[in-house]
Amino acid sequence: LPAFYAYVVFLSVSNLPFRLQKLKEMFMSKFGSAPKFYVRAPGRVNLIGEHIDYCGYAVLPMAIEQDILIAVEPVKTQVVQLANTSSLYLDFSTSVNNIQINKNKPQWHNYFLCGLKGIQEHFGLNNPTGMNCLLDGTIPPSSGLSSSSALVCCAGLVTLRANGKTLSKVELAEICTKSERYIGTEGGGMDQSISFLAEEGTAKLIEFSPLRATDVRLPSGAAFVIANSCVEMNKAATSHYNIRVMECRLATKLLSKSKGLDWKKMLRLHDVQTKLGVSLEEMLSIVEEVLHPEPYSTEEICKCLGISLEELRSQILSQNTQD
């Protein structure tokens, strides 16, 4: 396999050689030529810290065997052609110079386009390379195991390789975190970070600002059972995920305003804690002191911040939480 595989750590995946051979055969049947390289990104399960990464707080995930695997052939035409080994996902093609991501329809190819666009914009690529890509995925979709983020990471890696660019794993994770927001999900970075920074036999304590990962050795003989309830939730297809992100963002701004901070620049609860120079326990006391437990109306939030409803919707809330 090409040395480029070193970018994404392989966990123990016993059937990988078989999958690669099958992927190669399907690629040749589809595109009439052989792939030039392959890229893989694993899914993840979170052990501690669910839904706090977008508040700036540390999380403890680990990668799993299930993954996204893409066979790639750079081409001279400036067109990206995407195909999937599953018949559930339709083929897609577009010009690499005109990336359009539809937030209202989070179809599988849009996640690829997020990673593609993120790398293109990071390097300011004016003449990006076209590609033929065939994707194979073993992460159950919409199961909470980061199939979408793994696809974004894979796409970023594919674009990086095809255009002859290099980045560190940390830089890749940060770019893919930002680029997944093109589809409308206001994620915090846990999924992309563990996909790139995972290592076999260890979970990772992921901390932010700056992004860093520390090994957390798991107890010898410990086994983790990841059970799939088979209830699907595509977080980009509804406002459920972003509602909680926005609730935390609004709490951040209300706390900042009450403590005389520049609330317009504050997005995450951890930023408030850092600015105030307080401990987590002290931060909890401030929350209880400033915020009331009853629900807040948009009118009350606007009054507290001294802004109009239109300013609240356009300047703070995400597109799918404005109402």
- In this prediction, residue 72 carries a pLDDT of 98
Query: Which neighbouring-strand residues pair with 204?
Result: 215
- In the predicted model, what is the mean pLDDT of residues 196-213? 94
Question: Active-site residue among 191, 215, 271, 323?
Answer: 191
Find out whether 166 and 157 touch, Cβ atoms under 8 Å. no
- In the predicted model, what is the mean pLDDT of residues 239-252? 95
- As a whole number of Å, the end-to-end CA separation of the chain is 50
For 254-309, the pLDDT digits (tens) are: 999 999 999 999 999 999 999 999 999 999 999 999 999 999 999 999 999 999 99
For 13-49, the pLDDT digits (tens) are: 558 899 999 999 999 999 999 999 999 999 999 999 9
- In this prediction, residue 142 carries a pLDDT of 87
- In this prediction, residue 245 carries a pLDDT of 96
Structural domains in the chain plus CATH codes = 6-216 (3.30.230.10), 239-316 (1.20.1440.340)
- In this prediction, residue 5 carries a pLDDT of 39
Contacts of residue 122, Cβ cutoff 8 Å, sequence gap at least 6:
175
- Mean pLDDT lowest among 1-15, 60-74, 80-94, 210-224: 1-15
Average pLDDT of the chain is 92
For 112-158, the pLDDT digits (tens) are: 999 999 999 999 998 899 999 999 999 998 888 999 999 999 999 99
Distance between CA atoms of residues 181 and 191, nearest Å: 13
What is the pLDDT confidence band of residue 6, given thresholds at 50, 70 and 90? Answer: very low
The structure's pTM equals 0.90
Is 191 catalytic? The answer is yes
How many residues belong to the chain?
A: 323
DSSP string, 273-301: HHHHT--HHHHHHHHHHHS-SSPPPHHHH
Distance between CA atoms of residues 111 and 116, nearest Å: 9
- In this prediction, residue 14 carries a pLDDT of 57
Residue 1 pLDDT more than 70? no
Place of tokens 């260890």: 202
Q: Is 237 helix (H, G, I), strand (E, B) or coil?
A: coil
Distance between CA atoms of residues 120 and 97, nearest Å: 9
**Of all residues in the chain, what percent carry a pLDDT higher than 90?**
82
For 304-323, the pLDDT digits (tens) are: 999 999 999 999 999 999 98
Residue 7 pLDDT more than 50? no
More confidently predicted of 104 and 292: 292
